[in-house]
Amino acid sequence: MTRRSFKGEAGFTLVESMLALGILAVSLSACVISFDLSMEAVKTGANQMAALHSVRLELETLRTLSLTNSSSLNAGTHVFTNGTVTGIYTVSNINSCTRNLSVSVAYLNYINQAPRACIGTNTLTTTLTSTLHP
């Protein structure tokens, strides 16, 4: 048996292989971080849309109530629960036929809030006017 010499053959050295492995590790960790940030954005977007849906649903519910006979539309701040979401609405009287209505629901915002989520708020405001004058 004879020994073969590897000096003339092509191939990667140990240093080149370790450098390639390091570059691969950095690029894969960037992908994982990017995926984690995108998942936080998706969770925040879902929370925002659920809060906005709850605000719109409560606003439509309040809009259908009678302006003159409903205790729900008395001036002041009131709390409502819509499924699993709790929010507040504020009624202010302009005159006997017109009211300003503001509905707010909080949601969790996960974007750029390490290690915990912070609270954001969706608010819709409208003016209700009765066409039935007393």
What pLDDT was estimated at residue 36?
Answer: 87
Q: At CB < 8 A and 24+ separation, what contacts does 75-79 make?
A: 75/99
Q: What is the mean pLDDT of each run of 10 residues along the chain (134 residues)?
A: 65 91 95 90 90 89 71 83 87 84 89 73 86 61
What pLDDT was estimated at residue 128?
Answer: 83
What pLDDT was estimated at residue 1?
Answer: 61
Total H helices, total E strands in the chain: 1, 4
What pLDDT was estimated at residue 66?
Answer: 62
What pLDDT was estimated at residue 8?
Answer: 58
**So where are the chain's domains?**
14-129
